[in-house]
Amino acid sequence: MPSNSALFPRNFRKNYPVAVRGEGCWIIDQSGRRFLDASGQAAVISIGHGVAEIGQAMAEQSAQLAFAHTTQFHSDPAEKLAHRFLALAPPNFRSGGRVYFTSGGSEATETAIKLVRQFHLESGQPARYRVVSRRQSYHGSTLGAMTVSGNVARRAPYHPLLAEWGHIAPCFCYHCPFDKKFPDCAIACANDLDNFLDANDAPSVAAFLFEPIVGATLGAAVPPEGYVQRIAEICRKHGILLIADEIMSGMGRTGKPFAIQHWNVEPDIILVGKGIASGYAPLGAVLVAPRVVEAFERGSGAFQHGFTYQAHPVTTAAANAVLDYIESHKLFERVQPAAEILRAELSALSSHPNVGEIRGLGLLVAIEFVKNKSTREPFLKEQNIAERIRQATLDQNVLTYPTQGCVDGINGDHILLAPPFIISQSESAQIARALHSALQKVFPT
Ligand SMILES: Cc1ncc(COP(=O)(O)O)c(C=O)c1O
């Protein structure tokens, strides 16, 4: 970090190169060094860096109308984008669904928490306010979003500020919290929601919030068949809303527009962010199913919530241009074949004694590192394995996204790979080579 920096950094002990240009799957810093963006930054970049059409669409919108406050106006780009999102969503959203745009994922989570609370007020159930979620989850950085996030390490410093609404077991077959194996487990982790509700004042619960495929905190953990369906069934049984956090998994990253569509489940609310504008603009959104919308229409008529920059004409114009690009280049269709190539390139790494599992769906992939492959024992947190792998991979000019805590919130190391959908075979091969060399460096024989 240059001593004259005025930026409050993420980490005062780290040096950050200055990024000046983006091209496809690459970021170039001010010294001209080129980095292959294997993680799409943080699973943000879907169409690739440096697509000139997006900037042009934003400039045109900005020249025509940069801003109009949503208490006074709606705008065409936001209206158009809302229709497009609902058309991509599960069938229950399509006739009468609505979209609430925010400036990012955390604001979307925050909005959903207040939305489900007010939904129950509008529906004559004022006792319902708690949003139950899962341990080792992450749903955003603001205080409401942190309250529902179950990640021990991220919650720890803010513990006194956070409400305790309850967290159930994660769904994580590689480190099953019940020490069971699918299918003999009978999806005990889904039934944990039912048991939790029975034992913990179910009539005060407004909603259950989960990531259908857990991105950062567990490392692309895909649930077994039947999990998502069972969760939806339990929510219906208890009269609570189901919120799918697709901020990382949404907009095509797992091979369908929304990850929950792999199981044909219809949630009441879907949260998106990150990939919807592919990093060209800060944008998140809350997709709201008609039955929730109708409660507001029939009831007070007004959601007691709002952000100055919600549904911004320029950020929604950016996302429309991103979606145009996705459609004209058939990028949703490209995810599956690109994922197969990436997984094939990575497959040789599986035999390494410290590579526990390579998992994921589509272009949301993680590699977990373990101390002992047969017992799946993690390394000690202090050994900092995920960060060391990231650094060693970076030495080969490849960017990855490391996280610790997948096993119990503290221990467990993985890196996430979430490249742009345009990743080529040679770029996938380069990622695999960089990881191979990182493994040799971090685990010398
Ligand atoms: C699943 C999930 N939810 C919410 C968020 C928060 O989004 P943002 O950082 O845009 O506020 C993230 C960010 O990593 C995420 O991965």
pLDDT at residue 2 is higher than 70:
no
143 in a structural domain: yes
- Expressed in angstroms and rounded, the spacing between residue 104 Cα and the centre of ligand 1 is 8
Tell me, yes or no, whether 281 and 403 share the same domain: no
Among 41-45, 68-72, 154-158, 339-343, which stretch is predicted with the lowest mean pLDDT? Answer: 154-158
pTM of the model: 0.98
- Expressed in angstroms and rounded, the spacing between residue 247 Cα and the centre of ligand 1 is 6
Return the amino acid letter for 367: I
Chain-centre distance for alpha carbon 317: 22
pLDDT of residue 253: 98
254 in a structural domain: yes
CB neighbour list of residue 242: distance below 8 Å, 6 or more residues apart:
207, 208, 231, 232, 235, 265, 267, 268, 269
Which residue's alpha carbon is nearest to atom 8 within ligand 1? Answer: 105
Tell me, yes or no, whether 42 and 82 share the same domain: no
Among 50-64, 146-160, 290-304, 356-370, which stretch is predicted with the lowest mean pLDDT? Answer: 146-160
d(CA 407, CA 169): 12
Q: Is 119 helix (H, G, I), strand (E, B) or coil?
A: helix
Tell me, yes or no, whether 199 and 308 share the same domain: yes
Chain-centre distance for alpha carbon 57: 26
pLDDT at residue 1 is higher than 50:
no
Tell me, yes or no, whether 261 and 345 share the same domain: no
Tell me, yes or no, whether 199 and 322 share the same domain: yes
- Expressed in angstroms and rounded, the spacing between residue 139 Cα and the centre of ligand 1 is 6
Count the domains in the chain: 2
Which tens digit of pLDDT belongs to each residue from 343-388? 999 999 999 999 999 999 999 999 999 999 999 999 999 999 999 9
Say if residues 103 and 276 touch (Cβ distance below 8 Å): no
- Expressed in angstroms and rounded, the spacing between residue 284 Cα and the centre of ligand 1 is 9
Q: Is the CB of 151 under 6 A from ligand 1?
A: no
pLDDT at residue 409 is higher than 60:
yes
Q: Is 302 helix (H, G, I), strand (E, B) or coil?
A: coil
Q: What letters, b where the CB count within 10 A reaches 16 and e where it falls short, cover 171-201?
A: bbbbbbbeeeebeebebbbbbbbbebbeeee
pLDDT of residue 137: 97
Assign residue 187 the CATH number of its domain.
Answer: 3.40.640.10
Tell me, yes or no, whether 123 and 185 share the same domain: yes
Q: Is the CB of 401 under 6 A from ligand 1?
A: no
Q: Atom of ligand 1 at shortest distance to CA of 216?
A: 16
Assign residue 436 the CATH number of its domain.
Answer: 3.90.1150.10
12 in a structural domain: no
Which tens digit of pLDDT belongs to each residue from 7-30? 999 999 999 999 999 999 999 999
Q: Name the average pLDDT for the chain.
A: 97
Which residue's alpha carbon is nearest to atom 16 within ligand 1? Answer: 248
Q: Is the CB of 138 under 6 A from ligand 1?
A: yes
- Expressed in angstroms and rounded, the spacing between residue 209 Cα and the centre of ligand 1 is 13
Tell me, yes or no, whether 258 and 292 share the same domain: yes
Tell me, yes or no, whether 154 and 257 share the same domain: yes
Q: Is the CB of 167 under 6 A from ligand 1?
A: no
The residue whose CB lies within 8 Å of the most ligand 1 atoms, and thus the one to mutate among 274, 283, 403, is 274
What sign does the dihedral 360-138-368-375 (CA atoms) show?
Answer: negative
Choosing from 260, 295, 328, the residue where a domain stops is 328
- Expressed in angstroms and rounded, the spacing between residue 150 Cα and the centre of ligand 1 is 13
Tell me, yes or no, whether 106 and 196 share the same domain: yes
pLDDT of residue 3: 66
7 in a structural domain: no
Q: Is the CB of 109 under 6 A from ligand 1?
A: yes
User: What does the longest C-alpha to C-alpha distance in the chain come to?
Assistant: 68
Which residue's alpha carbon is nearest to atom 13 within ligand 1? Answer: 140
6 in a structural domain: no
Residue range of the domain that includes 35: 19-51+331-442
1 in a structural domain: no
Which tens digit of pLDDT belongs to each residue from 93-136? 999 999 999 999 999 999 999 999 999 999 999 999 999 999 99
Tell me, yes or no, whether 197 and 323 share the same domain: yes
141 in a structural domain: yes
d(CA 226, CA 369): 28
Which tens digit of pLDDT belongs to each residue from 153-177? 889 999 999 999 999 999 999 999 9
